[in-house]
Amino acid sequence: MRDIVNVGEDYGKISFGQLRRFSLREIQLATDHFSESNIIGQGGFGKVYKGVLADNTKVAIKRLAPCYSPGGEAAFQREVQLISVAFHKNLLQLIGFCTTPSERILVYPFMQNLSVANQLRGILINCTLVQIFILFVLTLVMV
């Protein structure tokens, strides 16, 4: 049986499954008030923060970028609805969400591998840039 959560006049009634609804205060405490030092990634949806909940659970907190609107609200509803009904062994299960007039946030389990993969991608890009720079300098020296 799915919970129907009324999240405000703008949203209407949305089915969110068995998701936990977090208060903004809980999210702020988990991320140390969205501290820059807790940013672990940036996706099309917005910034992703590492967080620790009151029960010590490590989470990844996706904060919808304000500039994502006007499509942002619809995208948020779609993402929450789709993820709340999608159960698959390869799909990261959404823990919960937080929504206020100014914030739309998704809470996922923290995956160390995802974060490491992102860091490796950054290192790889940096290495490629260094290689291009070295090739450029060598070309200048040889000409």
Is 40 a binder of ligand ATP (CB under 6 A)? yes
**Of residues 14, 30, 53, 60, which one binds ligand ATP by CB under 6 A?**
60
Q: Given the complex with ligand ATP, which of 1 and 67 has the nearer CB atom?
A: 67
Stretch that binds ligand ATP, among 7-15, 17-25, 42-50, 95-103 (CB under 6 A): 42-50
What gap in Å lies between CA 52 and CA 61, rounded to an integer?
10
Shortest reach from residue 6's CB to ligand ATP, in Å: 27
CB 31 within 8 A of CB 61: yes
Rounded (to 5) percent helix, strand, coil in the chain: 40, 25, 30
**Of residues 62, 63, 64, 107, which one binds ligand ATP by CB under 6 A?**
62
Tell me whether residue 13 is annotated as binding: no
Long-range residue pairs from 111-119, CB within 8 A, at least 24 positions apart, any chain: 111/60, 114/41, 114/60, 115/40, 115/41, 115/50, 115/60, 118/40, 118/41
Q: x/- contact string, 77-116, with ligand ATP (CB under 6 A)? A: ---------------x---------------xxxx--xx-
Is 38 a binder of ligand ATP (CB under 6 A)? no
DSSP label at residue 8:
-
Give the torsion sign (CA, 101, 106, 110, 114): negative
Residues that bind ligand ATP (CB under 6 A): 40-45, 48, 60, 62, 92, 108-111, 114-115, 118
